Homo-oligomer: A and B are copies of this chain.
Amino acid sequence: MDRIFAPYTVYKGKAALSLTPVLPTFTKLESGNGLRVDRRGNMMMKFWPAIGERKYDWEKRQLFALSATEIGAFISLGPTDSCEFFHDPSMKTSNAGQVRKSLSIKPHQDGSGYFISLSVVNNLLKSMDRITVPVTTAEFAVMKTACSFALPHIMGWDRYTSHQRPRVGEN
- A residues whose Cβ falls under 8 Å from a Cβ of B: 1-6, 8, 10, 21, 23-30, 33-39, 68-73, 75-76, 136-143, 145-146, 148-153, 155-171
Contacts and interface: CB of A to CB of B under 8 A. Distances in A.
Contact of A155 (B6, B140, B155, B166): B6
A32 to B, nearest CB: 9
Give the one of A3, A148, A165 with max B CB within 10 A: A3
A27 B3 CA distance: 11
A23 B162 contact: yes
Nearest to A168: B26
A147 B71 CA distance: 15
Contact of A138 (B70, B150, B170): B70
Contacts of A151: 142, 145-146, 149
Grouping DSSP codes into helix (H, G, I), strand (E, B) and loop, the A interface class, with mixed when no group exceeds half, is mixed
Contacts of A25: 165, 168-169
B68 A33 contact: no
Contacts of A38: 168-169
Contacts of A70: 138
Nearest to A35: B2
Give the one of A10, A33, A167, A168 with max B CB within 10 A: A168
Contact of A157 (B34, B150, B169): B150
